[in-house]
Amino acid sequence: MYNNGNSSTTIRLLETTFNLPLQNRNISRWRGAWAEFAGLEADLFHNHHGEKSYYYRYPKVQYRTRNGQASILVINEGVEALQHVLAKGNWKITWDTHPFVLQIEKLQLREYQATMTDDMRHYRLRQWVPFNVDNFERWKHAANLIERANLLNRVLVGHILDFATALQWRLPERLEVELQNLRNIRSVNIHGISRPVFDIEFTANVLLPPAIGLGKATSHGFGQTFPLRTYNPSFKDDRKHHLQLADHYK
């Protein structure tokens, strides 16, 4: 895709980890408890539009676990939304039908420059949920592994473009994405539906922030992206910073 866009965009990320022990299977409960605490008017935390409809948009609030603790990653306007909720001061949620007072164990606010690159950057994408209904049918009826790999590649391009669009970042050059390794495939129940979930490695000519979500169900902790240690030595300015972030998000 070609357009007259910007070569880079600044992204604000705030990750907050709380004192609530949490396993992956309970992330939906964590999301619900926090959304109730934040209030229905704060739709970034739940994406509900009224009682019966939803906002179909890239989630700027992503719930997950970090070292076994409940965590929230917020992006751009999600930062102000989270800060507004935290300013309430009384961080009491309902958990297992009982009141639980949250405390912040770690808070990290940072800015990150997402940009197109001249070389291909290497990433790992964990628990990626790639398919909508139509693409899942294409996957099931693919004639061979090559067709399936090509489908995954096309879907991944779309997910990166969805992320860029949500940030109002119009990529100025063609986005190149190559699936490098398919490490794991398993089925996970999401919203009562069994879905295939993938762990993959890919390369792309774009510098992505670490730990951002790509794909479906990213608000529930799926599809976290991490940079790997493969860089062109000619990119000396950002290499050290990017490797430090990779070490932090192992």
Provide the pLDDT for residue 54: 60
Say yes or no: 197 and 156 in one domain. Answer: yes
**Rounded CA gap, 58 and 169, in Å?**
13
Say yes or no: 225 and 142 in one domain. Answer: yes
Say yes or no: 103 and 125 in one domain. Answer: no
Q: Give the tens place of pLDDT for each residue, 117-155.
A: 999 999 999 999 999 999 999 999 999 999 999 999 999
Say yes or no: 140 and 244 in one domain. Answer: yes
Q: Where does a domain end: 59, 91, 110? A: 110
Provide the pLDDT for residue 70: 98
The parts of the chain modelled with pLDDT lower than 50 are 1-4, 49, 231-250
Provide the pLDDT for residue 48: 52
Domain span including residue 227 = 114-248
Say yes or no: 91 and 186 in one domain. Answer: no
Say yes or no: 143 and 193 in one domain. Answer: yes
How many other CB atoms sit within 10 Å of the CB of residue 36? 13
Looking at the 3D structure of the chain, how many domains does it have? 2
Q: Where does a domain end: 58, 78, 110? A: 110
Kindly write down the DSSP assignment for every residue of the chain, as one continuous string: ---S--SEEEEEEEEEEEEEE--GGGHHHHHHHHHHHH-TT-GGGT-EETTTEE--S--SEEEEEETTEEEEEEETHHHHHHHHHHTT---EEEETTEEEE--EEEEEEEEEEEEEEEEEEEEEEEEE----HHHHHHHHT-SSHHHHHHHHHHHHHHHHHHHHHHTT---SS---EEEEEEEEEEEEEETTEEEEEEEEEEEEEEEPPTT-B-STTGGGT--EEEE-S---TT-HHHHHHHHHHHHHT-
Q: Where does a domain end: 76, 93, 110? A: 110
Residue 3 lies in a domain: no
Say yes or no: 188 and 171 in one domain. Answer: yes
List the CATH number of the domain containing 168.
3.30.70.1900
Provide the pLDDT for residue 53: 52
